[in-house]
Amino acid sequence: MKIQRVLVVEDNERTRMWLCDCVAAAFPACDVTAVSTLSQARRALRSARVFAGAHQRAGVDVALIDIGLPDGSGIDLIGEIVDAGSDCVPIVTTIYDDPDQIFAAISAGAEGYLLKYHESDQLVRLLQRILDDEPPLSPAVARQVMEALRGRSPRHSEETALTAREAEVLSLLGRGFQLSVVAKTLAISHNTASTHVKSIYRKLNIRSRAEAALAARDRGLLSPGN
């Protein structure tokens, strides 16, 4: 994944500057926009989309989003990004490590969850996982996710059967491809690909690419040859 523009949403000034420095170290060629509130983040995202359309460039590729913001929860912003069908990768950066916050963020569509206690070099390494389409997760968060998955029951049944095309889309999502790449690979429009994704999410009761990857694995769609 190529990263050109990153949005940092963080209300604490010192932490915001630190995150911007980490982003610059992780992705040296990217442009970084930093804001402190949800309303500012929404305006920045809208401006990025307009700029992208006018200049034939990508909008925001990655958004680092704090949960506790002065005018609301960053989780709401994550849901808005996902619902808009954006290729932006929303990543939580927070001090909250309780399961309720973690799974609320993942359910909303977060594709990573980073705690702000890391040293700068460790956070940079975690952020760089995005370049390989790997979800950046703090170790403590990854442990909680794994523990939750151990008790997870299989999602698929006759009632949640996917069409052949939906299975193809899920397979590509499971490999970490962005929506635009899915559409290009299958020679379908972006809107058609988005419609398939929404149908898959509805049928399987999932809301994020991380959950889609697990569903693809459960269904054997990530084996060699698929």
**Total number of domains in the chain:** 2
3-state secondary structure string across the chain: CCCCEEEEECCCHHHHHHHHHHHHHHCCCCEEEEECCHHHHHHHHHHHHHHHHHHCCCCCCEEEECCEECCEEHHHHHHHHHHCCCCCEEEEEECCCCHHHHHHHHHHCCCCEEECCCCHHHHHHHHHHHHHCCCCECHHHHHHHHHHHHCCCCCCCHHHCCCHHHHHHHHHHHCCCCHHHHHHHHCCCHHHHHHHHHHHHHHHCCCCHHHHHHHHHHCCCCCCCC
pTM of the predicted model as reported, rounded to 2 decimal places: 0.66
- CATH at 189: 1.10.10.10
Same domain? For 176 and 208 the reply is yes
Could you give the CA distance from residue 160 to residue 193 in angstroms, rounded to a whole number?
19
Same domain? For 69 and 41 the reply is yes
Q: Report pLDDT digits (tens) over 85-140.
A: 778 899 999 998 887 788 888 888 899 999 999 999 999 999 999 998 888 999 98
Same domain? For 54 and 75 the reply is yes
Could you give the CA distance from residue 135 to residue 168 in angstroms, rounded to a whole number?
21
Of 150, 182, 208, which closes a domain?
A: 150
Same domain? For 191 and 131 the reply is no
Mean pLDDT, the chain, integer: 84
Could you give the CA distance from residue 200 to residue 179 in angstroms, rounded to a whole number?
13
Same domain? For 119 and 23 the reply is yes
Same domain? For 125 and 201 the reply is no
Of 150, 180, 201, which closes a domain?
A: 150
147-181 as b/e, with b when 16 or more CB fall inside 10 Å?
eeeeeeeeeeeeeeebeeebbbbbbbbbbbbbbeb
Same domain? For 29 and 135 the reply is yes
Same domain? For 107 and 184 the reply is no
Over residues 61-79, the mean pLDDT reads: 93
Of 109, 130, 150, which closes a domain?
A: 150
Same domain? For 206 and 98 the reply is no
Same domain? For 38 and 139 the reply is yes
Tokens representing 139? 């170790």
Same domain? For 126 and 195 the reply is no
pLDDT at 194: 87
pLDDT at 150: 60
Residue range of the domain that includes 33 = 5-150
224 domain-assigned: no
Over residues 198-217, the mean pLDDT reads: 81
Place of tokens 């419609």: 195
pLDDT at 55: 43
223 domain-assigned: no
Q: Report pLDDT digits (tens) over 28-57.
A: 989 999 999 999 999 999 887 755 554 444
